[in-house]
Amino acid sequence: MIPLDIIEATWLIKYPDRFISTTELVGLRAQALAKHAAHVEEMHVCISAEKIQRTIHLEEEIKHKIMSNEVKPGDLVLVKISSIEKSADRKMKPRYLGPMVVIQRYQGGAFLLAELDGSIWINKVAAFRVVPYLARAHIKFSAHVQDALDTTPEWLERQHNADKSSPGDSIEDLEEIHTVEASKDSD
C-alpha cells in the first residue's frame, strides 16, 4: 500500500474493468464513502503505532550517539565560531571561543553569556553554537560573574542598555573624545 492509497482511499472498493453506467458509478462511490472513515482511521492507528515502534528502535540503536546538551546558568561552555567553517584555511584557525559562563537561557533557546572576568556579551548566542565545557577542576567565579549569575532579568536589561550607550560606540562619540583630547594637548 502506498501513501496515495491512504490519502485517496483507492483500496476501499474494487472498480470494474469496463465502462459502467452513472448509477453504478454513484453506487460504487457511495460504498467507498461508507467504508472510508473506518478504514482510514484503522490505517492511521496502524501506521502511527509502526512509526512509534520504529522511533523507539532507532533511539535504542543510536543511544550512544544522542547527546543532550542541558546547559543551565553557571555552567561553563565553549562557543563555536561558525564563520570559520566557510573559509578556505579553516584547518589552522581556532574553532571555539571560551570557556564562557552561561548567565541566562532565553525562551527561544538562545543564551546570554559572560567572559570569565564578568564582562557580559551584548549579543545572544544561538543554542547550536554552545557546547558544554568539561573543566578538570571546579572554577571559582569572580565577584562580578557571581553578581551577574544572581541578577534579575531587569538588571540584565539595564546592563544591556548601559553597554549600548557607552562612549566610543558611535562616530560622533569618537569625534567628541578626539576633540576633547586635542584641546587638552593644545593647553
Three-class SS state of 102 = strand
68 within some domain: no
Residues 127 and 40 in one domain: no
Say which residues have a Cβ less than 8 Å from residue 87's Cβ, sequence separation at least 6: 93
Total number of domains constituting the chain? 2
Residues 102 and 154 in one domain: yes
Between residues 61 and 171, the one the model is more confident about: 61
With CA atoms as reference, report the closest residue to 103 among 82, 118, 86: 118
67 within some domain: no
- What is the C-alpha radius of gyration for the chain, rounded to an integer number of angstroms? 31
31 within some domain: yes
Residues 111 and 37 in one domain: no
Between residues 133 and 92, the one the model is more confident about: 133
Residues 99 and 127 in one domain: yes
Give dist(CA 72, CA 111) in Å, integer. 10
Residues 33 and 110 in one domain: no
Q: Which long-range contacts (CB under 8 A, 24 or more apart) does 58-61 make?
A: none
71 within some domain: no
Residues 84 and 172 in one domain: yes
69 within some domain: no
Residues 20 and 89 in one domain: no
Give dist(CA 103, CA 119) in Å, integer. 11
The pLDDT of residue 174: 44
Give dist(CA 29, CA 14) in Å, integer. 11
Residues 131 and 80 in one domain: yes
Give dist(CA 15, CA 9) in Å, integer. 12
Which domain covers residue 52, as residue numbers? 3-61
Residues 81 and 145 in one domain: yes
70 within some domain: no
**Residues 101-152: tens digit of each pLDDT:** 888 888 888 898 988 887 888 888 998 889 988 888 777 777 777 777 776 6
Q: Is the pLDDT assigned to residue 170 strictly greater than 50?
A: no
- Residue 158 is placed in which grid cell? 539595564
**Residues 41-87: tens digit of each pLDDT:** 777 788 888 888 998 998 888 888 777 678 888 888 999 888 777 77
Q: pTM higher than 0.95, yes or no?
A: no
Residues 21 and 88 in one domain: no
